[in-house]
C-alpha cells in the first residue's frame, strides 16, 4: 500500500460534485480512509504482527457506489438524529415538530437526505487528524434550528478516535452517530458469524417490527442479548427469540453501564486473533448485525455485501428518545455544545 496520504478524488456525484477521500496514518501502520461525503469511514487497514495490513470495515468502492445504495449507511456519520423517531414527529417546548419520513412513516438516521448524503467541508487535514464540518439549516428534514456539526477523526498507534461536536441557534434534538460496519476477518471475507461479541450492558431495549421501543429497558439475563460475556454472533442472531426473529438478527439498543468515557464493547475474531475494543461516553450502544444487507450494496473489494457481512456498533442515545425522554435526553439548546467521543482500540 502506498504511503501517500494526500487527499484524492473518490469520483463524482450525479450532480457533478467531487467526493474527496482523505487518508490518515499512524506510525505503527494503521491507516484510515475517510470521505468528505457523509464524514464516512471508507476503509481501515489494521496491521498484524507480520507487518501486513487488513481492511476491517465495509465500504463503497467509489462515489457511484455510495449513491447506488446510500441507505446502507456504510461507515457514515448519520444524523441529525441516528436511529428511529416514531411517526416522524415529536413535541419540543410545547410545539409539534414534523419530520421527513423515510422508513414506514418513521424517520431513520435523520431522514431521506440525512448527514450521510451531504458533502462535509474540510476544515483541516493532516497526516494523523482530519476535521470535517457540516451546517444543517433550520428546517433540514424538518428539524428546528441551524445546527453546525464537526467530526474530528484522529489516529495514534492502534487507536482510531472520532470526536463529534454540535451547536445550534434554536432548541433541537441531536444524536449523530458513527455507522461503521466491522469485519475483523477482513472486508469481503464473508459473515461475522464466527466473531465473539461482548457488550458492557445489563439491559437492552425491546422493539417492535418497525424497530421502535415497545416499552422500557429489560434485563438481558436469559435472552440472546446477554452479551456480558463473549458470545458467538451467529448463535445469537439465529436464536429462537421473538426479538431476534422479528429483527432478522440483532438491531437493538443496549443501555451501557456507567458514565463518561468507558469500554462499551469488545469484538474478537478467534481465527485471526484480531480484536477491537470500543470506548464511548454515550449512554447506549446500538448493535446491528447487518440484517438488511441484501447483495445490492457494492463493496470496496468488488464483493456485494450480504446479510451478516459486518456488525455495526453504534454509540448513541436510545431510539425514539425525542418521544421517550425517560430513555435518554436528546435536546440541545443554544449556548450549549453537544459532544461525544468514540474510540476503537485494535489488537492483532
C-alpha cell at position 223: 435472552
Q: Which of the residues are catalytic?
A: 179, 314
What is the distance between the alpha carbons of residues 166 and 128, in angstroms, rounded to a whole number? 22
pTM: 0.96
The percent of residues above 90 in pLDDT, for the chain, comes to 94
Q: Tell me the pLDDT band of 4, cut-offs 50, 70 and 90.
A: low
What is the distance between the alpha carbons of residues 120 and 17, in angstroms, rounded to a whole number? 12
- Please write the tens of the pLDDT for every residue from 123-174: 999 999 999 999 999 999 999 999 999 999 999 999 999 999 999 999 999 9
Contact (Cβ atoms closer than 8 angstroms) between residue 311 and residue 85:
no
Q: Tell me the pLDDT band of 293, cut-offs 50, 70 and 90.
A: very high
Give Cβ neighbours of residue 229 (< 8 Å, ≥ 6 apart): 198
What is the distance between the alpha carbons of residues 183 and 269, in angstroms, rounded to a whole number? 8
Strand ranges for 213-281 from DSSP E: 218-219, 231-232, 251-256, 262-269, 274-280
Q: Tell me the pLDDT band of 233, cut-offs 50, 70 and 90.
A: very high
Q: Tell me the pLDDT band of 68, cut-offs 50, 70 and 90.
A: confident
* Average pLDDT estimate for 120-124: 98
C-alpha torsion angle, residues 260, 216, 110, 266 (rounded to 10): 50
What is the distance between the alpha carbons of residues 39 and 305, in angstroms, rounded to a whole number? 21
- Please write the tens of the pLDDT for every residue from 182-213: 999 999 999 999 999 999 999 999 999 999 99
Closest CA to 324 of 4, 144, 122, 84: 84
Q: Does the pLDDT at position 297 exceed 90?
A: no
C-alpha cell at position 87: 411517526
Closest CA to 83 of 200, 216, 176, 204: 176
List of domains in the chain? 8-347 (2.70.98.10)
Q: Does the pLDDT at position 2 exceed 70?
A: no
Q: What is Dmax (Cα atoms) for the chain?
A: 60
Amino acid at each position: 500500500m502506498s504511503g501517500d496520504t494526500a487527499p484524492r478524488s473518490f469520483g463524482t456525484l450525479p450532480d457533478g460534485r467531487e467526493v474527496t477521500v482523505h487518508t490518515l496514518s499512524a506510525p505503527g501502520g494503521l491507516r484510515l480512509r475517510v470521505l468528505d461525503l457523509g464524514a464516512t469511514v471508507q476503509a481501515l487497514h489494521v496491521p498484524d504482527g507480520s507487518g501486513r495490513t487488513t481492511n476491517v470495515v465495509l465500504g463503497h468502492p467509489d462515489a457511484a457506489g455510495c449513491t447506488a445504495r446510500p441507505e446502507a449507511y456504510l461507515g457514515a456519520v448519520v444524523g441529525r438524529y441516528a436511529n428511529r423517531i416514531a411517526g416522524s414527529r415529536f413535541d419540543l417546548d410545547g410545539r409539534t415538530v414534523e419530520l421527513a419520513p423515510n422508513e414506514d412513516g418513521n424517520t431513520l438516521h435523520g431522514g431521506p437526505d440525512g448527514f450521510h448524503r451531504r458533502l462535509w467541508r474540510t476544515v483541516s487535514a493532516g497526516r494523523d487528524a482530519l476535521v470535517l464540518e457540516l451546517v444543517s439549516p433550520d428546517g433540514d428534514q424538518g428539524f428546528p434550528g441551524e445546527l453546525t456539526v464537526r467530526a474530528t477523526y484522529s489516529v495514534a498507534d492502534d487507536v482510531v478516535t472520532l470526536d463529534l461536536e454540535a451547536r445550534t441557534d434554536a432548541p433541537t434534538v441531536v444524536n449523530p452517530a458513527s455507522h461503521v460496519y466491522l469485519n475483523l476477518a477482513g472486508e469481503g471475507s464473508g459473515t461475522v458469524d464466527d466473531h465473539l461479541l461482548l457488550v458492557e450492558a445489563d439491559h437492552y431495549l425491546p422493539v417492535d417490527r418497525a424497530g421502535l421501543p415497545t416499552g422500557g429497558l429489560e434485563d438481558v439475563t436469559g435472552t440472546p442479548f446477554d452479551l456480558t460475556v463473549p458470545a458467538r454472533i451467529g448463535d445469537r442472531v439465529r436464536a429462537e427469540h421473538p426479538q431476534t426473529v422479528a429483527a432478522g438478527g440483532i438491531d437493538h439498543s443496549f443501555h451501557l453501564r456507567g458514565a463518561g468515557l468507558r469500554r462499551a464493547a469488545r469484538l474478537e475474531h478467534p481465527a485471526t486473533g484480531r480484536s477491537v475494543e470500543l470506548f464511548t461516553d454515550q449512554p447506549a450502544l446500538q448493535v446491528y448485525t447487518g440484517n438488511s444487507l441484501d447483495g445490492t450494496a457494492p463493496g470496496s473489494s468488488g464483493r456485494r455485501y450480504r446479510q451478516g457481512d459486518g456488525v455495526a456498533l453504534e454509540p448513541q442515545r436510545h431510539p425514539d428518545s425525542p418521544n421517550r425522554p425517560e430513555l435518554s435526553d436528546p435536546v440541545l439548546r443554544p449556548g450549549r455544545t453537544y459532544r461525544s467521543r468514540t474510540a476503537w482500540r485494535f489488537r492483532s
